[in-house]
Amino acid sequence: MAVVDTAIWSGEPTFPVADAYAHVAEVAYWSGPIEQESALPHSAAARETIRLYGERLRSFEHHDEILPGVRALPATGHTPGHSAILLESAGERLLCVGDTFYDPLQVTNPGWATPWDLDHPASVATRRRILAWAADEQVLLHAYHLPFPGLGRVRRTATSFTWEPIR
């Protein structure tokens, strides 16, 4: 579940009339028994988010267009259904990568996983795929864990990638 800690603040949905969206694997994972210790701190908030949104929780699969111009792309590894969200309008594209990157060092070293990635090999593969695609297609990225403003482009180097923030 993306941003489960901000979907609810005081036992109530932050946006009480809004629908919430989550990948089917996220809903299944957070609804079931949590065995990975690194996920335990987030399990209560995820379960509470699922409960509070109830029928307003809309599940999607990767590659689904969940709203006009809003497509969910696979970014698994951090969690089983972690998704990047591609926004497209008037020929412009912005890819919101969520928890795919925690530090700019992961752009130049995409093989570095974090303790918060539940599946390290998958998170590494996701970072490499997103970096290559973003560099080749010149897609603007939003990576909210990177330094403000968290918006930038990826460029290829001889051996890896570099992050060029929007100033």
pLDDT given for residue 35 in this prediction: 76
- Closest among 99, 60, 85 to 140, alpha carbons compared: 85
Query: Per-residue pLDDT averaged across 90-119, rounded?
Result: 95
Query: Per-residue pLDDT averaged across 124-151, rounded?
Result: 97
pLDDT given for residue 1 in this prediction: 46
pLDDT given for residue 4 in this prediction: 52
How many angstroms separate the most distant Cα atoms in the chain? 49
Chain segment 40-56, per-residue pLDDT in tens: 777 888 888 888 888 99
The percent of residues above 90 in pLDDT, for the chain, comes to 71
All domains of the chain in start order, with CATH: 4-60 (no CATH), 65-165 (3.60.15.10)
Do the Cβ atoms of 115 and 41 come closer than 8 Å? no
- Is residue 125 classed as helix, strand or coil in its secondary structure? helix
pLDDT given for residue 12 in this prediction: 78
Determine how many CB atoms are found less than 10 A away from the CB of residue 46: 24
Chain segment 64-85, per-residue pLDDT in tens: 999 999 999 999 999 999 999 9
pLDDT given for residue 11 in this prediction: 74
pLDDT over 60 at 39, yes or no: yes
Of the ranges 19-23, 33-37, 92-96, which is most confident?
92-96
Query: Per-residue pLDDT averaged across 127-155, rounded?
Result: 97
- Is residue 10 classed as helix, strand or coil in its secondary structure? coil
- Is residue 30 classed as helix, strand or coil in its secondary structure? helix
C-alpha dihedral, 24 to 25 to 31 to 33, nearest 10°: 160
pTM of the model: 0.89
The model's confidence at residue 6, banded by pLDDT at 50, 70 and 90, is low
Do the Cβ atoms of 11 and 27 come closer than 8 Å? no
